Structure 1
Amino acid sequence: MMTSATQNPLAARTPDSAHRTGCITLVRHGRPALSRKCWLTSEGYRDWWRRYDLGGLQAGQTPPPELVEAARKADAIFVSTLPRAQETARAVADGRDIVMDAIFVEAPLPPPHTPSWFKMPPRLWGVTARIWWHLFNHNDGQESRREAEQRADRAAQLLIEEAEQGADVLVLAHGYFNHMIGRKLKAYGWRLTLDQGFKYWCQRRFEKH
């Protein structure tokens, strides 16, 4: 069941869990349905990214058993409000209560403006847009890198607060913003103890030193 971010996901914690610091596991969503096998102008990529955010997962996927097990053991499960993350949560959480929060949505990917004859596939547009956003603060009026860094810091503090209450926390969200949260966790003294990378369905687990 999906709940709002204002509800307490730790209501069902066992008493013993309050005497330990839990772990924080960041998970990228499953493979989206929208095809990347196309060539697009910069304007075409903007439309592609809009449809990507509105779309869900490619049919026929099975989440890794170890991720299903991690969800079963988690005391609190957070999920981005975007459909691909929510469908991932439904695939792994087996009806568990899940807290949706827009704080975990992906950082924006507005591409640089290029001539209408210039085309690239979505994957290259994504890399290009991220470089422009990261290095040159190109945001086209969307969230800036500084604003996203601040959001990642707030997200990390939210997760740390839950974990310090004794919860093992699972976050089902997005590749790059998970990376940003992970950097904040490391800055707060959390250590990466499981690293499956940033591919679809993969986990990165952090524990306190």
Structure 2
Amino acid sequence: MTIDTLEGQAPPPAARSCKPGSITLARHGEPALSRKVKLHSAGYRDWWGRYEEGGLLAGQVPPDLLKAAAEGAGEVVASTRPRAVETARAVCGERAFATDVRFIEAPLPPPQFPRYLRFSPRTWGVISRFWWWFFDHHQGEETRDQAKIRAHEAAKALVKMADEGQDVLVLAHGFFNGMVGVELRRMGWKLVRDEGFRYWSARRFEKR
């Protein structure tokens, strides 16, 4: 897999086996940027840009299960977005992890509604995702079909690592993790633990 950066100093576990390892897709922790605002479409575009550049809300503690997954993984990979990198640091401690741009979130360009229509960022996220997915509304950013190709390539890279016998942990984003999960199932991987898509949640896949 293409590695953009490597964080930490401690080497990953070296153990390998002939049986494929598991693949765990985890969502980042809660970001610091507040969602308690009402925005028009241009305001939401600006808000999303700041969300993409921001890190985590202070004071969060990663779940023990997620930290255990990092300890047992032969490879830990994070999206290059700050909120994912900070999540990986919180989960891994001194453990080294890779970052890979292929795991960034799919874009959320909002449709150009009249300025008097104001919604919360959560509502805008639903609206924007719907327009992006069903109406190919991308405004020059990554399209749905391009994101599908990226998800397929990301899934193939994870399978290649897991086929070496090591467990793999990904710390990234809710929707794109879901797209990668779809590709994993198409490749014959079974979802064996599902914590949903909330912050710090994880979904574990194993080879059938």
Q: Same fold (TM over 0.5)?
A: yes
1:142-181 map, 5 Å: 142-181=141-180
Shift of 1:11: 7.2
Shift of 1:95: 1.3
Residue 58 of structure 2 is aligned to residue 59 of structure 1: yes
Q: Secondary structure at the match of 2:137?
A: coil
Shift of 1:5: 4.2
Residue 19 of structure 1: aligned partner: 18
CA distance in 2 between partners of 1:164 and 1:82 (Å): 27
CA distance in 1 between partners of 2:4 and 2:35 (Å): 32
Letter in 1 for 2:207: K
Residue 82 of structure 1: aligned partner: 81
Identity fraction in percent:
52
TM-score, structure 1 normalization: 0.94
Structure 1 residues 89 and 43, CA gap change in structure 2 (3 angstroms): same
Structure 1 residues 121 and 6, CA gap change in structure 2 (3 angstroms): closer
CA distance in 2 between partners of 1:163 and 1:58 (Å): 32
> Do the aligned partners of 2:103 and 2:154 also contact (CA within 8 Å) in 1?
yes
Residue 135 of structure 1: aligned partner: 134
CA distance in 1 between partners of 2:39 and 2:71 (Å): 41
Q: Secondary structure at the match of 1:18?
A: coil
Letter in 1 for 2:165: G
Shift of 1:93: 0.4
Shift of 1:158: 0.2
Output one character per residue of 1:80-121: Cα deviation in whole Å (capped at 9) or x when no partner: 000000000000001111110000000000010011111111
Structure 1 residues 12 and 72, CA gap change in structure 2 (3 angstroms): closer
Shift of 1:4: 3.2
Residue 184 of structure 2: aligned partner: 185
Residue 42 of structure 1: aligned partner: 41
Letter in 1 for 2:69: A
Residue 106 of structure 1: aligned partner: 105
Structure 1 residues 54 and 5, CA gap change in structure 2 (3 angstroms): closer
Q: Secondary structure at the match of 1:139?
A: coil
Output one character per residue of 1:23-75: Cα deviation in whole Å (capped at 9) or x when no partner: 00000000000000000010000000000001000011111111111111111
CA distance in 2 between partners of 1:11 and 1:173 (Å): 19
Unaligned runs of 5+ in 1: none
CA distance in 2 between partners of 1:99 and 1:5 (Å): 7
Count of residues in Structure 1 that have an aligned counterpart in Structure 2: 203
Computed over aligned residues only, the root mean square deviation of the Cα atoms, in angstroms, reads 1.5
Letter in 2 for 1:13: A
Output one character per residue of 1:137-171: Cα deviation in whole Å (capped at 9) or x when no partner: 10000000000000000000000000001110000
Residue 204 of structure 2 is aligned to residue 196 of structure 1: no
Unaligned runs of 5+ in 2: none
Letter in 2 for 1:137: D
TM-score, structure 2 normalization: 0.94
> Do the aligned partners of 2:5 and 2:99 also contact (CA within 8 Å) in 1?
no
Q: Secondary structure at the match of 1:4?
A: coil
